[in-house]
Amino acid sequence: SRTEAETLAARIAKEENIPLISVPQLRDLIGQRERRTLYPIDVRSSEEYASGHIPGFLWIPGGQAIQRADDYIAVRSGTVVLTCDATARATMAAYWYRRMGFKDVRVLKGGIRAWVDSGLELEKGRPVKPVLGLEQARETVKMISAQEVAQRLAEQGDMMILDVGTSQEYKAGHIPGAHWISRGWLEEKVPALFTDREQPILVTCLNGAQSTLAGATLV
């Protein structure tokens, strides 16, 4: 039942030291978005999200939020705030985020209900699937054209190439000499592959999104 789910969530939050933040605390975090990396995520269904969500919150249903966390969270040291209708689903997602190594994960206590009870309005509309952190990542990485890459490889040949697209995309075609690594394994595998910190690294993928996020991770 809903009551049992909320009781279980409260116990997990206490045992795992998952911070439950209030609506005023959430508003403070939103107000600091220009100075800190914030990932506000609504883990409810698309229908629930469309019926009303907290302004600025992105829709990523619970399963995807967990299974594809590395695709959405570009800066692992950023603050992740999860919400749902109350607290249960957001707390379970927060539990797994903490298990995956995300340090600053918080849950809005009371969820959407608490926001409404505080007299604040919700936005309505269908969810747009986000690529969280992409715009921030673009500001931290250096972009290079295909022509510049070809010239650098021809003249100096000192550039290591890392392909972070899917394995199927890599098999279908990649820059000659490129190493394939899933973006979720970057932090573990890159130090062994690229021992020279001064050596330039080119990060690439099929559409440029995953490589931009990966580049921000490596900076």
pLDDT score of 81: 96
Report the percent of the chain where pLDDT is more than 70: 95
Mean pLDDT of 67-92: 86
3-14 pLDDT, tens digit per residue, is: 888 888 889 889
pTM greater than the 0.75 cutoff: no
Q: Is 173 left (phi over 0), alpha (psi -120 to 50) or beta?
A: left
Mean pLDDT of 56-70: 83
Query: DSSP assignment of 71-132, as one string?
Result: HH-S-TTSEEEEE-SSSHHHHHHHHHHHHTT-S-EEEETTHHHHHHHTT---B-S------T
The one-letter code for the residue type at 132 is L
Q: How confident is the model at residue 1 (pLDDT cuts 50, 70, 90)?
A: low
pLDDT score of 215: 83
